[in-house]
């Protein structure tokens, strides 16, 4: 069995630390790329939805038939007085 000195142990730890930093950076870059692609496709979807929306202010025509109401005759009271 070989016993390694303190210099070899530190070198191994530095190598492990470098590998860990590289993996974290690669993971962060991949996550950023996925987020960027997601935002891009969300923008495309919103753009298409706006493009396909109906134009506001279109003309609407409504036809209603009104039935005429009968108007009752007005009643008048006439008083005639005679002198006599």
Domain count, the chain: 1
Task: Give the pLDDT band of residue 34 (cuts 50, 70, 90).
Answer: very high
Within-domain flag for 64: no
- What pTM value is reported for the model? 0.45
Within-domain flag for 74: no
Taking 60 as the threshold, does the pLDDT of residue 2 lie above it?
A: no
Q: What per-residue confidence (pLDDT) applies to 72?
A: 84
Within-domain flag for 77: no
Task: Give the pLDDT band of residue 83 (cuts 50, 70, 90).
Answer: confident
Taking 70 as the threshold, does the pLDDT of residue 71 lie above it?
A: yes
Structural domain range at position 21: 1-53
Higher pLDDT, 83 or 10: 83
Distance CA 29, CA 6 (A): 35
CA angle 13, 17, 10 (to 5 degrees): 20
């Amino acid at each position: 069995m070989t016993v390694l000195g303190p210099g070899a142990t530190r070198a191994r730890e530095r190598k492990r630390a470098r590998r860990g930093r590289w993996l974290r950076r690669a993971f962060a870059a991949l996550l950023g790329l996925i987020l960027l692609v997601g935002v891009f496709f969300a923008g495309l979807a919103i753009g298409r939805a706006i493009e396909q929306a109906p134009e506001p202010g279109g003309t609407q025509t409504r036809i209603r038939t009104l039935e005429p109401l009968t108007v009752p005759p007005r009643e008048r009271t006439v008083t005639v007085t005679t002198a006599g």
